Structure 1
Amino acid sequence: MPWNRQGTGPEFGYYPKWGHLLSAGTGPTSRSTDKPDKSFRNSVTEQDSNSNSDKYKHHKATSIRRIHIHANARQTIVAMDNTKKQAASGNTAADSKKRKGAPSAATGFKNQDQQGKESRPPARPQKRVKFQDARNIRSQPPDAALDDGKLDLQKFLNAREFEINALETSMRKCKSANATRVFQQVPREMRRRTASHNAKRVPKRLRDRAKREMLEDNTPTVEARKRRPRTTRARIRAENARRLEKLAAKKRKRALEKEAGGENKDEPGKTTIQTRAPRPKIRRDTLNEPPKPKSKFKKRQINKTWLPTHLWHAKRATMTEPTKPQWRFSIPLTPTQKCYRPTHRASGQKGTMFWDTSYMSTVRLYGTAGGIEQVLKALGLVQESLWGNRGRKWRVGTRTWSGIVSRQQGSSRRDVGPATILWNPNSTNEAAAPESDTTEQKKTQRQVLIRTHPSCFLELFDELIRVAKLQTPQVHVEDLRFEIGSIELTGPGSTETLLAVLQPYYTEERHGQVFSSLVGVTNPASLPKDAVLAFSVKDPRLSYPPKRVDTASKVSDLALLDTLTQWPVEEQVKPYGLFDRDVRFKASSLPPQKSINRRKGANIPGQEIQATAVDPPIPVIVLASRPAAGGQAQGTWTLLAPWKCILPIWYSIVHYPLSTGGNPRLGGLNEQRQIAFEQGTAWFPGDFLGTNAGVVWETEQRAQRKKAWDRRPKGKRIEWASLDLGAGRKGEIGDGLACDFEHLFGLPREPSPSSSSGDQSTLDVDPNAMDVDPREEAEAASKSGKPHKDILPSLATVGQMKKTEFNARVSADSGSRPPPRSIISVNITFVTRGVANVCARIYRLPSQPSPATTVPSSEAEVPATDPVAAGVGSLPADLRDQWLQKLPSSQQKSRSSSRSSKSTTTAHAAPQMPRGVDQGTRKQLMAKSLLSGDPLPYPRPSSAANQTDTMGGGAHPLCPGEEDLIGFVTAGAYSLSEGKGTAVGAISAEKAFDTLKEFGTKEGRLCIVRNAGESVGWLARWELV
């Protein structure tokens, strides 16, 4: 509570009625003023407890005042003396315009400035006394209820009534005396509010208390409706708001007149034509426009597009900057509350994580089956398993294919990005057709959905257009980016959440029946790989809020196991409704929320609303996928639905009560990358530097790191030129703020980017990868089919190599080497210690000593290591053996073999302390051990030339030379899933191929990881991703 400067407050003011206590000296004034006298406080309490109920009411209101007056008696008496002196000298007049102080016992009011800070009681003891008094429950002695030893029933009941009233009063005072404010009681899972200044930002049940606390604390309140505009822009917006309000009022008035039978009422006998609402135009073989936003949000979406759940995310997550959208979308990066460890728990242990991935791009191909097959083969789908008997389930439409698609670039192929491909089943099942009708099957009309990442969408779309025009008859391409949205869920509770939200519309649908029987599944990876379920669901708003699914085994475990093994959804498959444009449009025409609320109000409370003809079925496709790492990692559910149906589904997912407690957790772009890192998989595009999308990402990240490095003061940022790597080597290898593959492959250096916009005008991909209207250069390039080789940057010449292709080259006896300037993605696990950061350097174990590269300098520098027999400026010959000794298995052997050598070489070994000796003998042995041996030199000598000191913890082998550098780390941290440091990086395919051929798999996969700007490396092992 603030200090009551007027002296009228109930707790902290000075009152003249208690002046006789001070003047009479009834209280012990020798006590300290910081703490009230305990004996006096007890006497006041006893006096109140012995009084009757009428006197208690009077003492109850003044007990706290007595305590504070008595605690500050000495300062008040001094103030009284000063006041008398001022009155005697005639200086009693005070300025009437100034704020008056509290009245004193002798002279009434006194000027606050003259009174000063001495008369103010300390705040903390006052609050402590206030809380103690609020928690003190008054009581009456039982003597008043006894009359000559007999119990007077009426007095006894009166005493109990007093005690009950005292208990209720104490409860109310304790609640009001709480130190917690109203706005601090809002759960931290909810979005942040400006509740300290606006009472309307807190729940309704707490608004009255919030207003009362603001009045007591003199908090400046905010009332938006009464705030006057202060700027020209604000005045213009206020005028526009008033005009829009008038227009809305006129519109409502006309609507009411029409309903009442006004001038627009149809005449009897007059026929009317019912027309359907206009469908959005979907142009084929060209890019389509995003949905038109509302007028009040139109200016905010000039350079980007909002997700269907943007308004919900903007209040609860950190979004991309308005002027710097990500892939032409406003994407949530991370929730506002800290969620690194909760994300790890929800994604793998308990709960579920979910994302709005509607920014993922969707393309539809339709044409003859043979033409679509040729288009897909042009994208790199040439495996025999896809077009033979093993790929029949995929071609029927009950499985999906996920992988990296590529395009032809000269004599080689270049990866584009990840894609998921799904066929739409025909009315006649292909699996039931005879083999003799293969020619007829290729002439049938088929449809394919291709779902890809937005960073590589334009590159893939141009390639599809180019290849589709070469087919006869031509295959057409449709851009469905803003027609189909998606939501991804992962975690043990993901299946439970979808079962509660997605209720099948038609009970006879086979896919809907199988989906409803998945109660008890805690990992989507337990389903058949790349399984597909397509059915129609009800509007989730009809059953909102969603009820908890009964996981107590509606079906037995054996029945669930039988369903997962047999998977009875591959016979008599019907075409999926999400492929149909008319079905998507009808599903997007959902009834408004007001009508849902009206129907819910007319229904019985707690009962779900039954679907009627007004509620259209929503076509959905549910995809179950497994992580690339395999093992026990959690799988992922991907829900595809019409764009305008994502928001109703989203609200039900957000508020679903999980059976394990809590609600599903929101995730952003950073959480997606975190989960991929913990699973040991590469994340696109950050970990795919061999693609054009990866080049753009790396360019943006370099600019951000450079900007952050420039903001730091010179004394706190790393000087790359002065880094000492040992053996006379000075300076960082390449650019310390980049994954410098240009330096690794000897490519020409590109000028550093001046901004973080990631402009890739020199690439063969349009920098605005999500532009609605591509630039003329991109259109000309797509028409001519010529890649822009002459304007590619040097980093874009680096190619990405697949895991299967690399393993085939290593296992082949022919020894065909990988193509030059190709990289492969690897997962790095440290053997013992170490945590890698982004841009860390990856070395292979040195095979032989090689001279170190020295940086010429005009000034002579003192090397950090002493010269040894190997010579200054060169690495030791046994450097590889030093690193191999860091392995846990070799350490045990080295320790056992070195014990004998240490015992012979140590001349003055310290004596061992025997057991059970007395204190005197112990002191003698300790003094002998301290005096034996040579004294330690000061200052401490530097380590040997072939070792470096790790923070005073002993010698450590030096890092290999620049010729053994093989790659860089693209993502690294301490992994909560592994319990130690891990990383994801990219290494040179040629150097990795040579190392595996020379040293084999056991030693060939060992590497050394050194963070940029550090001189110490750590032993690790890499595995292909």
Structure 2
Amino acid sequence: MSERLPKQSGGKKPLNKNQLLKRNRIRNARSIRAEAVAASSSKHASPSDLSESGGKLKVDQFMNSRQFEVKQLQLAMHNSKGASSTRIFQALPRKLRRRTASHNVRRIPKRMRNRALREMRKSDQQQTLKNSSASSRKTHGLNAKQLYRAKMSIKLLRLASKSTSMKLGMPLDITSSKCHVRQKIKSLKRMIKESSNPNSNIIRLNNRMGSYDTTGLNELASTPKGRIKYTKRQKHFAWLPTHIWNAKRSHMIKRWGYQVPWAPTQKCFKLTHRLGGDTCASDGALCLDSSHIGTIVVRDSNSDTKGEFLKSIIGKLTSGRASLNKYRRSQTLFQGLIYSFSENSPRPLGPCDIFWIQDDTVVLRLHPSIFTQVFEIFIQYIDKLTIQDCRYSLASITLKGAKALESLASCLRSTKHCTSFEQFKDTSKITDHAILPQRCTFAFEAIDPRHLAAPKKLNDSQRKTYSSDDILSLQVNYPQSEINSVLKQLCDPDSRTRSYNNQNTLKEISARRSELLATTPNHINKTTIPFKENSDPSIPLVIMRRPKTSDWIVMLPWFWLLPLWHQLNRIPRVYHIGLRQFQQIQYENEQLYFPDDYPFTQLGYVENSFYKREASKTKWDRKPKGKKINFERVKDIHHTQLPAYKGEIGDFFSSDWRFLQILKNGLDYLQCDDKDLKLMDSKKTGQFGDQGIRIINCLNDVLEFHKDYETKVTAEPLPVEENVPITLCKLSKCQTPPKTINSNTSSLDLSIQPRCTIAISCRFLERGHPKDNARIYRISEEHLDHWMQVAEGVYRSNGRKDHDLEIPLPEVHDLIGFITSGTYHLNSGNGMGIGFIDHHSAIQQSARYVLIRNVGTNIYRLAKWSEISV
């Protein structure tokens, strides 16, 4: 008989049988049994052992007497954790939860399937059969409905061209010649014929998977043709090899001609910090499909000069860095900036990776936004160089974390014995990759990753430890000849095409595994399909360590990436990430991320001033009026309120580098010849010269000039590539010193002459954290003593730090830079931001302290900055 609630319950429904069972199960799980003190006490224990009257407590006897209660407490905590999970699908981790798992038993781990089947039988739930949807339709050619429509279309076209009554019923302008009836009938017949022989359209290929090499030789490569079903979706934005896999698990963005994963759908900020950061907590790996990074293979056509012309071109592109023997002869990966070919002042385009295969062959990995510009530079020397556009023929995976090499070693097997693969096996056991040498490259020919039924660690019982001598052997016994032979195959279109020879389909892989399981009695060999040298394909593959970013790059042919990706993501503690997580890793390592943290380049300036600005402004516009900040009414931002600006200064939704350029150039103009700085002139209004140019007499005029400039640019936009407001230089020495600002300088030069800036990272010394586009101010000499006391700490009488001090406000002209990426740093436990400050202002500072203020606020935080080497 079911239990009923009393009448005073407010008329609630009585609990049914299942609800009562669930309530009792939770109560039993949370109940903690206790043991009487008399029963637990020992024979020789005195009554005062457990007394609270001030007697001496014997800890060991007390713990032994309470041992039963401690075990019951742990048992209750364990039972209560899973008491509310009534179904096995509710006990799955968040990564494996899917809506389809509620009826498809194959979507859950094998260890849970028996219990899931029992629960499904108990509830009479229908089970999903394997390949039930795939077996109901044809996988090749036309299905029955499409074949019927094609045949009926041919009959109707023939009838319409012969029947006089149908011709009279049609409009006069519609005739057989104008409608191309014969061509349409031929195309329909061809379609029906191809559907009867589904392999007729891929006879020219050497595999049944449809894999082919798409390389542009001395020209830009065409976008690879995917399935006809997705042709319209790939018309303007190419798909990466893992697009369909990532589209189900990540947020995708369309940028730079690709559809790239932006971030996983699940929360992964802390996970990325633990696994991808340089911490001891990393016990896994993060992987990113980085095939959107374009690859160019350049070879010197003149073999007699030993690549001297190619050396000069690479040296000119990288300001003489990548052509050094350290990178050219020793095969060390170069990471740095690449510059345009400008005779007067070469402009930085962005970061790049350069790897020399031989003296006359080099591989460049470039961001897709600057790929075309660099390719056009090489095309100018087409008579001396051979250029390959390998954007769609070479794919890559970026891995980060302690188990990056171990996870790769679980998926890859070499086709034959080679020194590089043996070194890779030994190095995969190392979790601290910082101890490895700067030149750490592995290259070998691998078998199809699908030959492994599941990723499996390499069993090497002979090697249990890895000493310092083994690390040195990576440099001494570097197998350069083996690595060069594999790299030549990887950079040759014909070799990449041969790697697809006899590429097996999933059905053929399954058939070979079933045959192996049926014929092979040895259980050890049942998991791996043996490699047949005469028929099975071999994959040229290279694994390179990038010392600057401390991650690993795996490069292989385009259509071999997806099999490796599937195996890689089956390994426990290996998670996929997107561009957002890669930016987080760069931020935590205090490194710049392209293009967000590169405002001194054309692409970085456009990213900040247009794309990110429009996104922030659109988000602000969508908010209701009562919930969005009115930037023009923010009070107490600066000590002196100038008439030119009310509230926030500069652009509200971006880092206004144009404002910084005009402000700092205007300050140099007003203070030239040791003049005193005048903030504003209350006796005069704005004055203009003969040509309508504003006359600069005080700081307020400089701010008014900036407003005039923004109005002019809005009406007539200027070319971005010719007017980037800032340049990058080093703190010790300015690479591109600006022209001297003197009294003869025209006010137009304030917006033309770029400002030299340095890249810095700012760490907060107090609470709070910076946000993107936060303003950076210098500390004036009269306020320096106050902020130095704040840096040391001002404490109250109770010993706690005082955060409610009255702070002196800076002036408008104390602005020296902006934060490009800022948030809370999980590793250091405080706020940190990456930004740029004016070079001239940084030199004049006696202490490396700055003030940071987020946009739309009047709260200043003290931070200490350090320079970032680019």
Q: Does 1:513 align with 2:513?
A: no
Conservation of the 8 A alpha-carbon contact between 2:215 and 2:393: no
Residue deviations 1:353-397 (CA, integer Å, cap 9, x gap): 1111011100111223122123213313414xx55xxx3352236
- 1:816–1:398 distance in 2 versus 1, CA, 3 Å: farther
- 1:318–1:811 distance in 2 versus 1, CA, 3 Å: closer
Partner of 2:266: 337
Paired residues for 1:788-867 under 5 Å: 791-792=719-720, 796-803=723-730, 806-809=731-734, 820-847=754-781
- 1:681–1:641 distance in 2 versus 1, CA, 3 Å: same
Partner of 2:617: 706
Residue deviations 1:997-1025 (CA, integer Å, cap 9, x gap): x344xx1x221111111111111122221
Residue deviations 1:230-286 (CA, integer Å, cap 9, x gap): xxxxxxxxx986535889999999679x9xxxxx9xxxxxxxx99967964533332
Shift of the alpha carbon at 1:206?
6.8
Shift of the alpha carbon at 1:650?
1.0
Query: Which residue type is aligned with residue 623 of structure 1?
Result: M
Distance in 1 between residues matched to 2:829 and 2:340, nearest whole Å: 40
Q: Which runs of 5+ in 1 are unaligned?
A: 1-64, 76-116, 137-173, 228-238, 259-263, 265-272, 431-445, 629-634, 657-661, 755-760, 763-789, 848-877, 900-909, 913-950
Query: Which residue type is aligned with residue 616 of structure 1?
Result: P
Distance in 2 between residues matched to 1:751 and 1:618, nearest whole Å: 58
1:581 aligns with one of 493, 508, 516: 493
Distance in 1 between residues matched to 2:481 and 2:472, nearest whole Å: 16
Conservation of the 8 A alpha-carbon contact between 1:364 and 1:449: yes
Shift of the alpha carbon at 1:424?
1.9
Shift of the alpha carbon at 1:127?
1.5
Q: Does 1:411 align with 2:312?
A: no
Distance in 2 between residues matched to 1:521 and 1:226, nearest whole Å: 45
1:610 aligns with one of 530, 542, 545: 530
Conservation of the 8 A alpha-carbon contact between 1:380 and 1:407: no
Distance in 2 between residues matched to 1:290 and 1:882, nearest whole Å: 61
- What SS class does the counterpart of residue 688 from structure 1 fall into? coil
How many percent identity over aligned positions?
A: 27
Partner of 2:540: 619
Partner of 1:737: 653
- 1:1020–1:73 distance in 2 versus 1, CA, 3 Å: closer
Conservation of the 8 A alpha-carbon contact between 1:819 and 1:990: no
Q: Does 1:375 align with 2:313?
A: yes
- 1:414–1:225 distance in 2 versus 1, CA, 3 Å: same
Shift of the alpha carbon at 1:719?
1.0
Q: Does 1:546 align with 2:452?
A: no
Paired residues for 1:227-626 under 5 Å: 242-243=144-145, 280=213, 282-320=215-253, 325-347=254-276, 348=278, 349-350=281-282, 351-367=284-300, 368=302, 369-383=307-321, 387=323, 391-396=324-329, 398-409=331-342, 411-425=344-358, 446-466=360-380, 468-469=381-382, 473-507=383-417, 509-550=418-459, 553-554=463-464, 556-564=466-474, 566-570=476-480, 574-575=484-485, 576=487, 577-589=489-501, 590-603=503-516, 604=520, 607=525, 608-612=528-532, 613-626=534-547
Q: How many residues align?
A: 677
Residue deviations 1:860-879 (CA, integer Å, cap 9, x gap): xxxxxxxxxxxxxxxxxx32
Distance in 2 between residues matched to 1:253 and 1:688, nearest whole Å: 53
- What SS class does the counterpart of residue 127 from structure 1 fall into? helix
- 1:845–1:594 distance in 2 versus 1, CA, 3 Å: same
- 1:564–1:423 distance in 2 versus 1, CA, 3 Å: closer
- What SS class does the counterpart of residue 886 from structure 1 fall into? helix
Distance in 1 between residues matched to 2:816 and 2:27, nearest whole Å: 70
Partner of 1:1023: 866
Conservation of the 8 A alpha-carbon contact between 1:537 and 1:619: yes
Conservation of the 8 A alpha-carbon contact between 2:544 and 2:552: yes
- 1:296–1:550 distance in 2 versus 1, CA, 3 Å: same
- 1:556–1:281 distance in 2 versus 1, CA, 3 Å: closer
- 1:131–1:582 distance in 2 versus 1, CA, 3 Å: same
Residue deviations 1:421-457 (CA, integer Å, cap 9, x gap): 11223xxxx7xxxxxxxxxxxxxxx221110111221
Distance in 1 between residues matched to 2:147 and 2:330, nearest whole Å: 52
Distance in 2 between residues matched to 1:645 and 1:707, nearest whole Å: 41
Partner of 1:766: none
Partner of 1:1013: 856
Partner of 1:970: 820
Distance in 1 between residues matched to 2:510 and 2:264, nearest whole Å: 30
- 1:694–1:752 distance in 2 versus 1, CA, 3 Å: farther
Paired residues for 1:184-199 under 5 Å: 184-190=90-96, 192-194=98-100
- 1:222–1:596 distance in 2 versus 1, CA, 3 Å: closer
Distance in 2 between residues matched to 1:408 and 1:695, nearest whole Å: 19
Query: Which residue type is aligned with residue 963 of structure 1?
Result: H
**TM-score, length basis structure 2:** 0.69
Paired residues for 1:6-405 under 5 Å: 65=1, 67-68=2-3, 71=4, 121-123=13-15, 127-128=19-20, 132=24, 180-181=86-87, 183-190=89-96, 192-194=98-100, 242-243=144-145, 280=213, 282-320=215-253, 325-347=254-276, 348=278, 349-350=281-282, 351-367=284-300, 368=302, 369-383=307-321, 387=323, 391-396=324-329, 398-405=331-338
- 1:573–1:503 distance in 2 versus 1, CA, 3 Å: closer
Distance in 1 between residues matched to 2:118 and 2:709, nearest whole Å: 65
Residue deviations 1:172-225 (CA, integer Å, cap 9, x gap): xx9x99763454344311263255688897787577667668779xxx999999
Distance in 1 between residues matched to 2:829 and 2:262, nearest whole Å: 25
Conservation of the 8 A alpha-carbon contact between 2:340 and 2:347: yes
Residue deviations 1:513-562 (CA, integer Å, cap 9, x gap): 32223143213332221433222112111123111345874454254234
Distance in 1 between residues matched to 2:622 and 2:218, nearest whole Å: 47
- 1:974–1:752 distance in 2 versus 1, CA, 3 Å: farther
Distance in 2 between residues matched to 1:1011 and 1:224, nearest whole Å: 56
Conservation of the 8 A alpha-carbon contact between 2:543 and 2:555: yes
Larger Rg: 1
- What SS class does the counterpart of residue 650 from structure 1 fall into? helix
Distance in 2 between residues matched to 1:362 and 1:570, nearest whole Å: 22
Shift of the alpha carbon at 1:737?
1.4
- What SS class does the counterpart of residue 354 from structure 1 fall into? strand
Shift of the alpha carbon at 1:330?
1.2
Query: Which residue type is aligned with residue 618 of structure 1?
Result: I
Distance in 2 between residues matched to 1:580 and 1:397, nearest whole Å: 22
Distance in 1 between residues matched to 2:218 and 2:349, nearest whole Å: 19
- What SS class does the counterpart of residue 702 from structure 1 fall into? helix
Residue deviations 1:862-908 (CA, integer Å, cap 9, x gap): xxxxxxxxxxxxxxxx32322222222xx58xx8xxx9xxxxxxxxx
Distance in 2 between residues matched to 1:707 and 1:373, nearest whole Å: 47
Query: Which residue type is aligned with residue 830 of structure 1?
Result: F
Conservation of the 8 A alpha-carbon contact between 2:446 and 2:540: yes
- What SS class does the counterpart of residue 785 from structure 2 fall into? helix
- 1:549–1:720 distance in 2 versus 1, CA, 3 Å: same
- 1:831–1:530 distance in 2 versus 1, CA, 3 Å: farther
Partner of 1:979: 829
